Amino acid sequence: MKLHPRHELRQKAEVEAQLKLLGIIKKYDLSYGEIFTILAKLMSNWARYLKKDEDKK
């Protein structure tokens, strides 16, 4: 069964993001709390960006 091209791209991006995140975690010796705080802030910023973009339409 062939996957949708966007699904394949998403899978590749997810693996790449995981590897980069792991590198950052090791580089800065982050705790679980620090990791969750960073991820929550990224998600919040992204949601704000999407909302701003939506308001422009």
28-52, pLDDT tens digit by residue? 999 999 999 999 999 999 999 888 8
Query: Tens digits of per-residue pLDDT, 5-36?
Result: 899 999 999 999 999 999 999 999 999 999 99
pTM for the structure as a whole: 0.69
Q: 50 to each of 8, 13, 25, 38, how far by Cα in Å? A: 23, 20, 27, 18
Containing 10, the helix (H) or strand (E) segment is: helix 5-28
Tokens of 20: 């980069």
Q: Where are the domains of the chain?
A: 5-56
